[in-house]
Structure 1
Amino acid sequence: MAVDNNGNTRNAADIDGNKQRIMDIVDEKKGEFIEASDRIWETPETRFTVPKSVEQHYKVLEREGFDIQKGVAGMDYAYIATYGTGKPVIAITAEYDALDNLSQEVGNPNRKPVVEGAPGQGCGHNVLGTGALGAAVALKTLMEEKNLKGTLKLFGCPAEESGYGKAFMARDGVFDDVDAAFTWHPSDTTAVAGGSGLAVMQANFSFKGIAAHAAAAPEQGRDALDAATLMTVGVQFLREHIIDAARIHYAYLDAGGKSANVVHPTATLYFFVRAPYLEQAKPIYDRVVKIAKGAAMMTETELSIDFDSACANYVPNHPLSEDMDKNLDLVGPLQLTDEELEFEGKIQANNPKGYEGPLAERLKAANPALSDEEVGKIAHSSMALPKFPLIYTTDTKGQASTDVGDVSWCTPTAQYYGGFEPLGTPAHSWQWVANGQSSVAHKGLVQAAKTIALTAYDALTDPELLQAAKDAYAKEFKGKPYKSVIPPETQPHG
């Protein structure tokens, strides 16, 4: 007997034989996926420069007999691993990039960087990518054993966190022949994604001035930092005149140096503009550009704009998402020991005071059927183990951005969130880095590999499901083709 995500027992005999075999394959081979995940955790790399991370994928894929195309869409460390021929073409996407300044000792429930300022796997992409890798290996193995027809493609995608590798792939038509795509993402709760998320555009704004002695010859200088400061002030005023769902945020990449006695000759700002749809983000971004130009004029500095990247909002495909939800029930929730729950609770203890209130609000939105008492009980737990129901919503409150959105505009797509992180801890945090090699993370990897492989198998072998997915996709987009807003001259970098 096994237990599904609703706490009900199920008999293995009730599961389709091929699906049971897929889950068995994942269990048989999970050691190689866990090994790859742990090695990627140990060599965190950011954006597009991820040679050590992708190498762990290559080791598994070469051992498992995939054909690998390395270097895709202008990215040295993007790949397409393929097995089989003909239709349908089923895609699984994998990520492996880390985040800056999140170095943290593994297994330490308190903040302690391994190397101060170094990157860390603060969004769990070491587990994400190898979970997707495990799904591809399991389905490929079954395809070999059962002589199943069709093509399986695993897309290795760098720079999800900032540069959006999938968006460059989509711009270059890499997903044009794909019939359905699947992925997942670490989280502190488990549910199939029914929400949208935010589209985003991002660019570097660099001001060039003239250096001079700030006291003896200020009139000879033109201050780039003044220009950057004026730009940020202008954007603050702009916030009053944009839609509520939009977000603008920035970082100083160059603040002109450390001397206050010099008129700053350079300054660079990195801006993100987010909105529910790219057609909403684009006019806001255009206004940010006008503010930057105005700041340059006011300070008589030179402005250069380096467009970095952009990604579209995610659009869930209902038939595929509902199928994934059923398969997640087949796989069942994580089975954790008291020791594992205690460890997760120690990490969770670093959450700020009062986090339970906003968490309870989020949990209630995730499952409105829960009573206040039930929500409160979950909010005071270290983990949320049963999955939450699939709920479709266009509300982008609390949503981030992902380049999976661009995939979903190109082909029917489904993804789910795997809740193996301590409840209430945020993504992009040192807490997630600390949890990245735990046995709980390993169990989350296995759950993901099984869930994605089962759903990809359904799309591969069930023509009615695939047709329903395509019909829903056509209805959603009404013949509107995907169009990237990334300029042709912009190439992946950094």
Structure 2
Amino acid sequence: MKRIILLCCALTMTIGATAQKMTTTKKTVIAAVENHKDALIKISDSIWALAETAFNESQSARILADYAEKNGLTVTRGVADIPTAFTATYGSGSPVISILGEYDALPGISQKASPEKEPLQEGAAGHGCGHNLFGAASLGAAIAIKELMETGKIKGTVKFLGTPAEEKYFAKVWMVKAGLWDDVDVNISWHPSSGIEADVQSGLSLIDFIVEFHGQAAHASGDPWNGRSASDALELYTTGINYYREHILPSSRIHYHIQDGGQVVNVVPDYAKLWVRVRDPKRKVMLPTYERVKAMAEGAAIMANVTHEISLVSGIYETLVNRTGGEIMQKNLELLGPITYTAEEDAFGKAIQKATGKPEVGMDSKIYPLKETKEIPGGGSTDVGDVSWNVPNINLGVTVAPKDTPWHSWAVVACGGMSIGHKGMVYASKAMAMTMVDLFENKKLVQKVTEEFKTRKGDEVYEPMIEGPPPIGQN
């Protein structure tokens, strides 16, 4: 009897797996991505070589926007008062499906497309999060949908959003505030990863702020009693933060970066500055911690007999998961199947793993099943979270680097500039285009995704955590 039950279960699973079929429209968008593959790789490689950082992505944004325009999308540049942000749209009416594209790099991790650490340009930036692939893949999917719309087989509007400065300032928050998703029914996003899966995990909310201390300069030996040290306040403050870590929830995080602790050893510093970040999987938990950490700055200033000021940089929400959307994406991943790697690519992956001290298991090409959504996730943060609290968001992760590769590192930069990254980019483009086909063809799916979004959001009122205009040109 037990064997019969197991056999029935296996048969049911097989039927479920084969029920989803590759339709003509999905074959069409896959073919469209293939037709644009060489151009998308060229775009990705150009952005990879430029490696422009937050709000400095002028050439990267232009390359993407120009290709969108060349392929018949209507481009609006400099949206939300951000010179490197843009939209590219095609079609009319509903549903309106948007897709995100990022293209900013990280400072200091320049790297050649080599499995050994070797900067392309010493001290320069590099795409250690694969954003050169991110923007190109998403644009490829948007163009594939546009070309399908031209045949009359689907109707609605596709909207590509070029979103800069994800790594530092979180430009999407200003873009959300500017209303760029107000007309959107569902948003699609992806992120480079070391595995393939429909992503149904949240991220961490966070808030960034600057603390500055102002004191009185004096000779550090001749008359230090005449000085009031801003760096003393800074040290007292960071010591307080480090003691406070013991008394916050294990899921919370506090980081800081000292940006100015004084210039020379023989002067009592009259100025000190640090960047502070507070995170937690839940914004409602993060905010009280933020208030406490701000209050500690005042205490440090009092002890050092200096003044202080605090200025908000920006803050972002945790990602609001949509499992209904994840299930749609998952079926399309299973239709596409795993990525196939050459022996040379697998050897490259193993060399990356060896260089970074990881098990040399090579590339991970499996399609992972849809996971349970964790209540308290680990990992990092993204301003996609702010989008997800304003419109239903479907997210995807695709392999662009070998298993266990340290993210935000030279190793990811290396893979993003060669065929391993290229294959992941093209795969992501196809998967997202296929998922958009489902949404355009079936309004009931859009309704189900929207219903879950409304249920999960509840009565939460979104409030962007920014003050003033985007910090363009700030260091």
Band the TM-score falls in, shorter-chain normalisation: over 0.9
- Give, in angstroms, the shift of residue 16 of structure 1: 0.5
SS at match of 1:250: strand
- After superposition, the C-alpha distances for 1:413-468 in whole angstroms (9 at most, x for unaligned) are 11111012011112101100111111111111110000011111211221110011
Alignment of 1:64 with 2:71, yes or no, is: yes
Aligned to 2:275: 270
Identify which of 149, 157, 163 aligns with 1:143.
Answer: 149
Pairing 1:390-429 to 2, within 5 Å after superposition = 390-429=370-409
- Give, in angstroms, the shift of residue 492 of structure 1: 3.5
CA contact (8 A) 1:75 1:492 kept: no
Q: 1:490 to 1:223 in 2, by over 3 A?
A: farther
- Give, in angstroms, the shift of residue 278 of structure 1: 1.6
Alignment of 1:204 with 2:184, yes or no, is: no
Alignment of 1:96 with 2:75, yes or no, is: no
Identify which of 322, 325, 345 aligns with 1:340.
Answer: 345
- Give, in angstroms, the shift of residue 116 of structure 1: 2.5
CA contact (8 A) 1:351 1:425 kept: yes
Q: 1:231 to 1:147 in 2, by over 3 A?
A: same
Aligned to 1:362: none
- After superposition, the C-alpha distances for 1:286-323 in whole angstroms (9 at most, x for unaligned) are 11111111111221222122211111111221211100
Aligned to 1:33: 40
Which amino acid is the alignment partner of residue 420 of structure 2?
V
- Give, in angstroms, the shift of residue 395 of structure 1: 4.1
CA contact (8 A) 1:197 1:401 kept: yes
CA distance in 2, matches of 1:398, 1:474: 24
Aligned to 1:462: 442
- Give, in angstroms, the shift of residue 171 of structure 1: 2.5
- Give, in angstroms, the shift of residue 332 of structure 1: 1.8
Aligned to 1:361: none
Identify which of 443, 450, 453 aligns with 2:423.
Answer: 443
Aligned to 1:167: 173
Number of equivalenced pairs: 459
CA distance in 1, matches of 2:145, 2:331: 18
CA contact (8 A) 1:48 1:159 kept: yes
Alignment of 1:251 with 2:257, yes or no, is: yes
Which amino acid is the alignment partner of residue 244 of structure 2?
L
CA distance in 2, matches of 1:166, 1:425: 27
- Give, in angstroms, the shift of residue 254 of structure 1: 1.3
Identify which of 453, 459, 472 aligns with 2:452.
Answer: 472
Alignment identity in percent?
38
- Give, in angstroms, the shift of residue 491 of structure 1: 2.9
Identify which of 448, 464, 470 aligns with 1:491.
Answer: 470
Alignment of 1:190 with 2:190, yes or no, is: no
CA contact (8 A) 1:122 1:433 kept: yes
CA distance in 2, matches of 1:147, 1:252: 56
- After superposition, the C-alpha distances for 1:101-124 in whole angstroms (9 at most, x for unaligned) are 11112x221112223322110100
CA contact (8 A) 1:168 1:492 kept: no
Which amino acid is the alignment partner of residue 141 of structure 1?
E
Aligned to 2:125: 119
For structure 2, which runs of at least 5 residues remain unmatched after alignment?
A: 1-12
CA distance in 2, matches of 1:268, 1:311: 22
Which amino acid is the alignment partner of residue 407 of structure 2?
A
Which amino acid is the alignment partner of residue 86 of structure 1?
G
- Give, in angstroms, the shift of residue 490 of structure 1: 5.1
Which amino acid is the alignment partner of residue 147 of structure 2?
T
- Give, in angstroms, the shift of residue 148 of structure 1: 2.8
- After superposition, the C-alpha distances for 1:329-372 in whole angstroms (9 at most, x for unaligned) are 122211111011011111111223xx55xxxxxxxxxxxxxxxx
CA contact (8 A) 2:200 2:326 kept: yes
- Give, in angstroms, the shift of residue 397 of structure 1: 4.4
CA distance in 2, matches of 1:397, 1:146: 42
Q: 1:7 to 1:384 in 2, by over 3 A?
A: farther
CA contact (8 A) 2:219 2:268 kept: yes
Identify which of 221, 229, 232 aligns with 2:227.
Answer: 221
SS at match of 2:85: strand
Aligned to 1:359: none
- Give, in angstroms, the shift of residue 145 of structure 1: 1.8
- Give, in angstroms, the shift of residue 28 of structure 1: 0.9
Alignment of 1:234 with 2:236, yes or no, is: no
Aligned to 2:432: 452
Which amino acid is the alignment partner of residue 307 of structure 1?
L
- After superposition, the C-alpha distances for 1:43-100 in whole angstroms (9 at most, x for unaligned) are 1111122101111101211110111111122211111111011111100001000001
For structure 1, which runs of at least 5 residues remain unmatched after alignment?
A: 1-5, 357-379
Aligned to 1:54: 61
CA contact (8 A) 2:55 2:84 kept: yes
Which amino acid is the alignment partner of residue 452 of structure 1?
M
Aligned to 1:289: 294
Alignment of 1:19 with 2:22, yes or no, is: no
Q: 1:278 to 1:305 in 2, by over 3 A?
A: same
CA distance in 1, matches of 2:369, 2:199: 10
CA distance in 2, matches of 1:77, 1:69: 11
- Give, in angstroms, the shift of residue 479 of structure 1: 3.7
CA contact (8 A) 2:200 2:321 kept: yes
Moved more, 396-405 or 458-467: 396-405
